[in-house]
Structure 1
Amino acid sequence: MIRLTASAAALALAMPAFAQNAPAAPAATARAASLPKAAPVADLVKAIDIPYEQFTLPNGLRVVVHTDRKAPVVAVSVWYDVGSKHEPKGKTGFAHLFEHLMFNGSENAPGDFFEPLKQVGATDLNGTTYFDRTNYFETVPTAALEQALYLESDRMGWLTGAISQAVLDEQRGVVQNEKREGDNQPYGLVSYKLIEGTFPADHPYGHSTIGSMADLDRASLDDVKSWFRDHYGPNNAVLVLAGDIDVATARRLATKYFGPIKAGPKSVAPNAPVPVLAQPKSEVMKDRVAAPLIVKSWPVPGLNDPAAPALEVAAYVLGGLASSRFDNALVKGDKTAVQVSANYSDFAQVGTFTVQAVVRPGVDPAVVQKRLDELVDDFVRNGPTADEVQRTLTTIVSRRIGGLESVGGFGGKAVALAEGALYSNDPGFYKKQLAALAAQTPATVKAAAQQWLARPGYTLTVVPGERDAYDEAQVPPAAPQTAAPEVAAKGTREPMPKVGEVGALSFPTVQRAKLRNGIELVYAQRTAVPVTQIVASFDAGTAADDANRLGTQAMTLAMIDEGTPRLNSIQLAEAKERLGLDIFTGSSPDRTTISFRAPSANLAPAVDIWSDLLRAPTFPESELPRVRGQVLAQIAQELTDPAGIAQRIVPPIAYGAGSPYAKNVGTGDAAAVQALTRNDLIAFQRAWLRPEKAKIFVVSDRPMAEVQQVLNARLGDWQGAGPAGTKVFREDRSLPAPRIILVDRPDSPQSRITGALRTNLRGTQDLLPVITANDALGGDFLGRINMDLRETKHWSYGAYGAFQRNAFAAPYLVNAPVQADKTGPAIASLRQEIGAFVGDKPLTQAEFDRSITGAIRSLAGNFETAGDVLSAMQANDLYQRPDNYYTTLPQAYRAMTRDELAGAIRSVIDPERFVWVVVGDAKVVRPQLDSIGLPVEVMSAASVAGAPQERK
């Protein structure tokens, strides 16, 4: 995996300067002042604590240990002091390529590392590369810790003998398709241009982490082995163990497994000063996008500089808060932009400060650029207000509290400790960061802005048009291929340790109660962090959308937080920020949700605001044109995105055109959204988002009685008005005609393949056998589909197949982005793999054992966080399963047989009944499809405006 720099996916955020122009609700100002007060930020900061101990082995490996006994799991996180900033000219992308190579087995653990880690039940398993580091992480059952440490130490100390030409060729192809997949997105080339425009070409941060196709192609076996020897020694690494472990055990195991590895050359941070642009620079590029994009970037100091916390606050105030200045001025004010954001990227040695705006179609980008510059200039001159700083601090601290619940993964406690150790020589650096943030004032933020944002910046404008030609879009000559992997040189270590008895899943007891008006309350207590998460789930979803006005639900949700009887949209945003309250809306085919997450210290005032959105959204007429424009821009954007195009075509095929689920075609139909009125939104809200259709799910550290009391006080007397909406699911035994639908999207370096198979399954059935069987076909990294297209053929970065489980239907969908010149062969390979799995090469005993063992052992790690538990509670309710369903799974898995699973999936999947949807460049792809033996229909991407009618 790779983490890229600023993408073009701007966020819709919100600015106090426009507050006086916003439509005010009756007596809004007085009533806003009467809202309950928030807990002080200082009290929230006290909740953030990660006690740790550390030691260093004689070979230089730094080990950091944090004990957290909430679950029988340990997060293992190894961070190497090597990233793309260490790459010399001509070897760009080497650090990221090596991240992939180090997943492909070592001398004493040959074969893909996902194989043993799957069997031990690892969760939160991945690796990433960025400018400053390469890291590997997995959370494993405590009983599997020794095996995980064996694997991590083997790839640190015994790797080079396992790197063959075949392995290099394989992973080079995978990385190149990862690059194509990113490039293939709308605005997919923006990150490269920002780096080129912000940094000199010879600057350590002056090239992308993923590198260039040409450099990857030139990488020889000797090159990559030398790269490993120079950078991946124990003295260049930090090992963090967080979870069910103590320092004495950590010292013994780290010494046993990593102690024998010899130190290597010490990484030296390259000279990386903050560059100064001689003068402002602007460029324009064309891309196949729905709306113009303006991005402006300044080079600034990195995370260890005293200015870092002030720059973070500045980014939030300008474009990171829901009440940001950009949003209020550009989106809610003059309505020239549909999305805006600002971001401070704090790398170890330098940083970037980036602002961006997606321009409303029809508006001159130059007008928006001028207004952006004026807003930044005003901020530089005058700085933020005290209230803006306070709301920013509450928002940042509240989100960090929630993010530290997990011990590992992409953002848990192990990450905080490792980043501090590697970037700042202090595992506890997160505390210094929080203290520095809490000390920020309007004056300190203003001073940092004047020092860094008054300098020349780089501006990029992306306008709709035919994408400019670029070398990276070309398919390079095939790298040399080796028929079979070479035999790895066998090391001299002891065998890999066995896994002990894995601790049982500790799923919290689920309690059920009712509010005074009959709304069911489903509650579980988790005390790891002082945070409350609540979801109001309504029996609606995209299945409830108006078939003649698709997008009604999306518009309703987009407008629902634009005003309440007490607060207008800006006051609402500010009130949420003062509480550290995040409110989310969402939908699935079956359910529509309005949820929130807040520090438990602010539970009562958070529910006060959230309940107003449920009970009495005002849908102000004055905000409707603006929000409609944002939704229309989102629809237009979906029609330029390969996944968004496929989403418009697949549902009627997968479910049948008459199924309510066939309406799940993205955000909606542009013409219908254009015609919607305020009364239409009110009618949808009253029919579907009403107490009779609601269930409330809660995970909190506060006891149920307290939560129920707070909810009763605000929602206990809520009653629905008028008739409720109804959904009708009729059985449809018709089947779509097998064929290929090719959507022409010119200049696509990849094709997105979606295979759709309608089944007779319902989500409320016991689907555990077919889902477990599919683990070996398409449901896992090690599944046959992914291993064939990614690891064997390296035509794709990742290919998967899964049952799309809804209450009344569960079709099987395959998704495979592949390089354009291999589209036809990839479909042929997919058909062959699926056919063999349900035919003459069924589930093997090894695949069965791996799936069952991994499923049982991973249960404890799967439910480590409150969010995991909350999702599980909702799934159990939707699929009509008992609340203790997950605690019964070990017994259910152990009772399964290989023949049972093979038979179950064979009875459902017919490889000859798939409809294949391909989004790609027709001039490249069309000639490849004729040999497959299926009819081919060709349509233009521009014609995909809504869900097509299914043809038999």
Structure 2
Amino acid sequence: MSRRISCLGEIVVGIIGALVVAQPATASDAVRLIEKVTKKSDEIVIPYEKYELANGLTVILHEDKSDPIVHVDVTYHVGSAREEVGKSGFAHLFEHMMFQGSENVGDDQHFRIVSEAGGTLNGTTNSDRTNYYQTVPANQLEKMLWLESDRMGFLLPAVTQEQFEVQRATVKNERKLRVDNVPYGLTPERIAEALFPEGHPYSWQTIGYVEDLDRVNVNDLKEFFLRWYGPNNATLTIGGDFDREQTLAWVQKYFGSIPRGPEVEAPEKQPITLNEDRYISFEDNVSLPQLTMVFPGSYARHSDEAPLDILASIIGQHQTSLLYKNLVKTGLAVRANAFQYCQELACQFVIVAKPNVQDGVTLSDLETIIRDTFSEFEARGVQDDDLARAKAGLIAPMVYELESVNGKVSQLAANETFTGNPNQIGTDIERLENVTKNDVMRVYRKYIKNKPAVIASVVENGKPEQVAHADNWSRYKRKLPKYATVDKSKLKYRTPVDEFDRSIEPAAEPAFFAPVPKLWTGRTKNKIAVLGAVNNETPTTVLMFRIKAGQRAEPADKLGLAMLTAAMLNEATTQSTAEELSNRLQKLGSFMAITSGAMETTLTLKSLTKNLDETIEIAAEKLLFPKFDDADFERVKAQQLERIRDEKKHAGRTASRTFRRLLLGEKNSVSNMDIGTEETLANITLDDVVEFHSTYYKPNAAEIVVVSDLNKRALLKNMTHFAEWRGEAPDAPPLMPFPEIEGRTLYFIDRPNAEQSQIIIGKHSLPFDATGEQYRLQILNFPLGGAFNSRLNLNLREDKGYTYGISSQFHGEQEYGFFLASASVRTDATDASIREIIKEIVKYVEGGPTDHELQFAQSAMGRINALKFETPEQKLGFLSKIQTYDLSKKFVDEQKTILSSINRSELNGLAKKHLNVKDMIFVVVGDKTSIFPELERLDLEIVELDPNGDRIVAGESG
């Protein structure tokens, strides 16, 4: 093992020596302390105390006083794997129902209460667990415990058939949005059906089948809750700044009376094997065919999991992998990678590749090369560098996750749920560190070598000849048991009995504002401005180079040049190959990304601070000494071309691209995708890339923001790698005038057989201004479409079930801005959705926000400030905003003043000035056959566009 990886390993020393103290029962059996884990020296461990209530609820407390916030997570050990055959999607549907209110929390009030408290919230479901979480200012903890306990113990009396129907429609919309209406979206479902035996808990997806969702009613849902949502199947984890004794008292008060549910046994592991390769295929609206090979594996935390993770890294991750060398580097594929996907009951070893069809490469070719790559791996064996970089690359993210209380709580909750041991991080790291070369070869022979797999071909519509191999396995017709209606009278409700009035919501604590990070400024030896902040919570550094070399500087006939240049900086330099640089970064446990946007190119890096100097040395090499090799250029250009074609297959991106071009004008580069178009990319040569780099990549166009546990002096010392960088970049050319838009015009793009319609409604507005009128527009928008319980979302999602979600915003850049409301809606509700959006905006303009809505916006937007500066990435974003817009360090204080003093009269005036529907245009991407007749009945002029956004002349085919 190299010195670099041993440095990383030094962090790991002593992990298993964490102090774990088992505790006897306390004087009160109500809250029993099970164990206490503390941290010694520099070991990687998350300190916690673990308790158990008499009703079986597990409680984990992790104190972290570094920021004035708390994170509350309730994880139930139930996911889609616990569902009955024929009732798929129930766990996920129930997650939605848990936000609809409970006996003492009104309909849709959960979101309002958390938002008003200045918090964020969500819930997630996977095959094995469901969790609900909130991050709030520290003084809002009691209210969060009241909310979570009320839906654990008092949900069912508030559940209605009407709520059930709305959320069922919402989940079906979500499936269309994430699965049915996106390229390759059906791939996981089809693979799971082929991989697992019918009836296996993983043979269906968490989102479920629509036919299953349609065949059940609200009583099925209630039965699911009563079976799985008892406190004895849950873990409550609290992390952050709290008083331990007060928190335990609140936990006992709010959760202690909830009766136990049925006993829950740990599910049996169910890894599977195949007796032969299973070839499957289907056609989809994709730009490139895709090959996916899936080998059955072990199961999560099995002794083979860690060596299989390392095998996946060697085979198909990063520029050091064999698949990259054999497929991507050669230009045969635009993508090829491998990973292991592990679940509680079974794991999968997955390889995904897309061919470069422009060179005549087929899916069959890819399969052959992948299998040849396995043979190559077996012949070469596992090398020392393989182990070093794979282990470092897998362990470093575990360290980075400790930067946030959210990350630490998530680890504690998951580890307790699946192992009964919250202190699992040390064991996980030890498992990786102990993997040997023989272990990796052993699991290769056990799971991959000559072993059957599911080989899935996703091919372009109308091109069945693209499949890798003729199908030898067909989807079975699902055997659904006869549906039996649940007898409501036989549901065994569990009613808590409290000694307090639970209907009284805990009083709202006063808002407080987290202190803005203490900032420092400096300059490198060649005068690059540096803005930094110290973060002492973890020995890590995040740093961003910002270079004013973005799309803004591109010629109109060479759109995509800035992005192509940035991509080339990820390739070879004059001093090193791309593989050598990737190898160094992985062994350091560092991450680096170079990308370009509308206004700038950014290089963002994350590093363990002790490895920062070498990481910055690599950054300097990439930025200043690119090789600009011809072969690299042709490959990277082909990859960017595929991204352009793929973008066209996504309705949302098509709508967004069209909206920007209409508002900002075709002559302005920033109105287009930052990756360019097929036509403009064809115009770009390697000489163009070299010239763009030599013209704009200069120190006078660069700025640096950094968040680190290093102080200013030590940090600037690491910048010596840029000391000899010289030269001046010119200013980008001025923007062309924006076109006048014809309000109340609907621009329509046909997307045949689309499962949903994408809608964008909007107009020109103001550029970004942190303390001016544009900031006031953020306040104005919050009740309209800026929060979950905004007018638009409550109407279209919660009341009508038209969409999975809708939002609106006043978006501001340095030189331009616009207002837009956007949603992906049910095809049969396209015209109705447009009418409702118009109605809500018109109503808002006429009356403005109510007193309650203004108070809600002030409370939510003010209190959430406490959450903005926790992680290094959040601090980095804050610093970047100050630098980008040349803001005063006191702009946050000015925003507080504006927010607290703004009144309805001012907001009413802003609404009338900036939200006139008559000035807005409408962009709709959907199935013309299904929706066009209804759209023609709207009081809007309709202009048809082709997928490129160009007008269709009368008589042309749409």
TM-score relative to the length of structure 1? 0.90
Any idea what SS the aligned residue of 1:799 has?
A: strand
Once structures 1 and 2 are overlaid, which stretch shifts more, 888-897 or 397-406? Answer: 888-897
Deviation at 1:760, TM superposition (A): 4.5
- Per-residue CA deviations over 1:153-188 (Å, capped at 9, x if unaligned) read 000000001100111011101000000001211111
- Per-residue CA deviations over 1:257-286 (Å, capped at 9, x if unaligned) read 100000001223444421111111111211
**1:550 paired residue number:** 559
Q: Does the Cα contact within 8 Å between 1:873 and 1:883 map onto a contact in 2? A: no
Classify 1:60/1:382 alpha carbon distance in 2 versus 1 (closer, same or farther; 3 Å). Answer: farther
Deviation at 1:529, TM superposition (A): 1.5
Deviation at 1:658, TM superposition (A): 4.2
Q: Does the Cα contact within 8 Å between 1:338 and 1:629 map onto a contact in 2? A: yes
Structure 1 CA distance, aligned partners of 2:945 and 2:739?
A: 27
Q: Are 2:798 and 1:821 aligned? A: no
Structure 1 CA distance, aligned partners of 2:3 and 2:627?
A: 21
Deviation at 1:530, TM superposition (A): 1.3
Equivalent positions of 1:194-209 (< 5 A) are 194-209=191-206
Any idea what SS the aligned residue of 2:749 has?
A: strand
**1:141 paired residue number:** 137
- Per-residue CA deviations over 1:900-950 (Å, capped at 9, x if unaligned) read 223223311221222111111111121120111112122343x459999xx
Q: Are 2:225 and 1:228 aligned? A: yes
Once structures 1 and 2 are overlaid, which stretch shifts more, 895-904 or 779-788? Answer: 895-904
**2:622 paired residue number:** 613
Structural RMSD (CA):
2.4
Structure 2 CA distance, aligned partners of 1:702 and 1:945?
A: 53
AA aligned opposite 2:684: L
Q: Does the Cα contact within 8 Å between 2:278 and 2:453 map onto a contact in 1? A: yes
Once structures 1 and 2 are overlaid, which stretch shifts more, 613-622 or 769-778? Answer: 613-622
Q: Are 2:938 and 1:932 aligned? A: yes
**1:890 paired residue number:** 896
Classify 1:52/1:764 alpha carbon distance in 2 versus 1 (closer, same or farther; 3 Å). Answer: closer
- Per-residue CA deviations over 1:711-747 (Å, capped at 9, x if unaligned) read 1x111221126x6242313554733453111111112
Structure 2 CA distance, aligned partners of 1:237 and 1:196?
A: 30
Deviation at 1:886, TM superposition (A): 2.5
Equivalent positions of 1:577-592 (< 5 A) are 577-592=586-601
Deviation at 1:763, TM superposition (A): 4.3
Deviation at 1:665, TM superposition (A): 2.1
2:7 to 8, 20, 40: 40
Equivalent positions of 1:316-395 (< 5 A) are 316-333=313-330, 335-361=331-357, 362-379=360-377, 383-395=381-393
2:186 to 173, 189, 202: 189
Once structures 1 and 2 are overlaid, which stretch shifts more, 253-262 or 757-766? Answer: 757-766
- Per-residue CA deviations over 1:528-568 (Å, capped at 9, x if unaligned) read 12111111112232222221111111111111121222111
Deviation at 1:39, TM superposition (A): 6.0
Classify 1:546/1:764 alpha carbon distance in 2 versus 1 (closer, same or farther; 3 Å). Answer: farther
Structure 1 CA distance, aligned partners of 2:462 and 2:882?
A: 47
Once structures 1 and 2 are overlaid, which stretch shifts more, 623-632 or 46-55? Answer: 46-55
Structure 1 CA distance, aligned partners of 2:319 and 2:893?
A: 40
Equivalent positions of 1:50-69 (< 5 A) are 50-69=46-65
Q: Are 2:670 and 1:661 aligned? A: yes
Equivalent positions of 1:667-706 (< 5 A) are 667-706=675-714
**1:720 paired residue number:** 727
Q: Are 2:123 and 1:127 aligned? A: yes
Classify 1:613/1:736 alpha carbon distance in 2 versus 1 (closer, same or farther; 3 Å). Answer: farther
Q: Does the Cα contact within 8 Å between 2:946 and 2:952 map onto a contact in 1? A: no
Structure 2 CA distance, aligned partners of 1:440 and 1:170?
A: 50
AA aligned opposite 2:583: E
Q: Are 2:661 and 1:652 aligned? A: yes
**2:488 paired residue number:** none
Deviation at 1:682, TM superposition (A): 1.2
Any idea what SS the aligned residue of 1:877 has?
A: helix
**1:526 paired residue number:** 535
Structure 2 CA distance, aligned partners of 1:572 and 1:449?
A: 27
Q: Does the Cα contact within 8 Å between 2:269 and 2:344 map onto a contact in 1? A: no
**1:8 paired residue number:** none
Classify 1:209/1:201 alpha carbon distance in 2 versus 1 (closer, same or farther; 3 Å). Answer: same
Structure 2 CA distance, aligned partners of 1:901 and 1:470?
A: 57
Q: Does the Cα contact within 8 Å between 1:823 and 1:925 map onto a contact in 2? A: yes
AA aligned opposite 1:172: R
Structure 2 CA distance, aligned partners of 1:317 and 1:888?
A: 52
2:841 to 822, 834, 842: 834
Q: Are 2:817 and 1:810 aligned? A: yes
Deviation at 1:353, TM superposition (A): 1.3
Q: Does the Cα contact within 8 Å between 1:44 and 1:397 map onto a contact in 2? A: no
- Per-residue CA deviations over 1:744-775 (Å, capped at 9, x if unaligned) read 11121011111231124454662221101101
1:860 to 852, 855, 866: 866
Deviation at 1:704, TM superposition (A): 1.1
Structure 1 CA distance, aligned partners of 2:419 and 2:264?
A: 15
**1:9 paired residue number:** none
AA aligned opposite 2:377: F
**1:28 paired residue number:** none
Q: Does the Cα contact within 8 Å between 2:100 and 2:107 map onto a contact in 1? A: yes
Structure 1 CA distance, aligned partners of 2:738 and 2:365?
A: 53
AA aligned opposite 2:250: L
Classify 1:590/1:905 alpha carbon distance in 2 versus 1 (closer, same or farther; 3 Å). Answer: farther
Once structures 1 and 2 are overlaid, which stretch shifts more, 418-427 or 315-324? Answer: 315-324
**2:804 paired residue number:** 797
Q: Does the Cα contact within 8 Å between 2:393 and 2:587 map onto a contact in 1? A: yes
Once structures 1 and 2 are overlaid, which stretch shifts more, 650-659 or 894-903? Answer: 650-659
Once structures 1 and 2 are overlaid, which stretch shifts more, 370-379 or 749-758? Answer: 370-379
Classify 1:683/1:736 alpha carbon distance in 2 versus 1 (closer, same or farther; 3 Å). Answer: farther
Structure 1 CA distance, aligned partners of 2:515 and 2:682?
A: 50
**1:626 paired residue number:** 635
1:158 to 125, 142, 154: 154
AA aligned opposite 2:747: I
Q: Does the Cα contact within 8 Å between 2:651 and 2:925 map onto a contact in 1? A: yes
Q: Are 2:213 and 1:216 aligned? A: yes
TM-score relative to the length of structure 2? 0.89
Structure 2 CA distance, aligned partners of 1:262 and 1:801?
A: 42
Structure 1 unmatched ranges of 5 or more: 1-32, 473-488
**2:37 paired residue number:** none
**1:445 paired residue number:** 440
Structure 2 CA distance, aligned partners of 1:310 and 1:947?
A: 56
1:433 to 428, 442, 450: 428
Any idea what SS the aligned residue of 1:618 has?
A: coil
Structure 2 CA distance, aligned partners of 1:725 and 1:201?
A: 63
Classify 1:244/1:758 alpha carbon distance in 2 versus 1 (closer, same or farther; 3 Å). Answer: same
Structure 1 CA distance, aligned partners of 2:674 and 2:950?
A: 10
Any idea what SS the aligned residue of 1:931 has?
A: coil
- Per-residue CA deviations over 1:830-861 (Å, capped at 9, x if unaligned) read 1111111112x321111111111011111111
Deviation at 1:47, TM superposition (A): 5.7
Classify 1:587/1:736 alpha carbon distance in 2 versus 1 (closer, same or farther; 3 Å). Answer: farther
- Per-residue CA deviations over 1:871-924 (Å, capped at 9, x if unaligned) read 111112223321232344333321221222232233112212221111111111
Q: Are 2:260 and 1:251 aligned? A: no
Any idea what SS the aligned residue of 1:527 has?
A: coil
AA aligned opposite 1:903: G
Any idea what SS the aligned residue of 2:227 has?
A: helix
Deviation at 1:423, TM superposition (A): 0.8
Q: Does the Cα contact within 8 Å between 2:663 and 2:741 map onto a contact in 1? A: no
2:171 to 149, 171, 175: 175
Q: How many residues align?
A: 889
Structure 2 CA distance, aligned partners of 1:687 and 1:927?
A: 52
Any idea what SS the aligned residue of 1:404 has?
A: helix
Q: Does the Cα contact within 8 Å between 1:77 and 1:135 map onto a contact in 2? A: yes
1:274 to 265, 271, 276: 271
Q: Does the Cα contact within 8 Å between 1:108 and 1:490 map onto a contact in 2? A: no
Structure 1 CA distance, aligned partners of 2:273 and 2:738?
A: 65
Structure 2 CA distance, aligned partners of 1:599 and 1:623?
A: 30
Q: Does the Cα contact within 8 Å between 1:802 and 1:813 map onto a contact in 2? A: yes
Q: Does the Cα contact within 8 Å between 2:73 and 2:132 map onto a contact in 1? A: yes
